[in-house]
Amino acid sequence: MQTTPKKVLTLAAVRAGKVRVDPVNQLILEALGLRKEGCSTQELATTIKLTPRATRTRLVKLIADGLVLEIGSGPQDPKRRYFLAQL
């Protein structure tokens, strides 16, 4: 008997209410708003003058808050891009 692989759908929860944005995260949002093609982690890190790791940490929070979208082929995709979410 052949089994069909199960499909997994992951949904992100968005916090309700007002989200506080510090000055550095505001710079990230402004940079994303200027580039319709999105930005890589490295591009954003250069813009805000932080390391790529520190930038990814901030992006994770902005994604969780529903302010930024991450587009890539998978969680380990080195070419993933970040976009300003349409609110």
- Give pLDDT, residue 8: 46
Percent of the chain with pLDDT over 90: 69
- Give pLDDT, residue 42: 97
- Give pLDDT, residue 68: 97
Confidence of residue 18 (pLDDT cuts 50, 70, 90): confident
State pLDDT tens for residues 39-66: 999 999 999 999 999 999 999 999 999 9
- Give pLDDT, residue 74: 87
| CA diameter of the chain | 58
- Give pLDDT, residue 2: 64
pLDDT at 12 over 80: no
Cα 8 from Cα 56, distance rounded (Å): 25
Q: How far is CA 57 from the centre of its chain?
A: 10
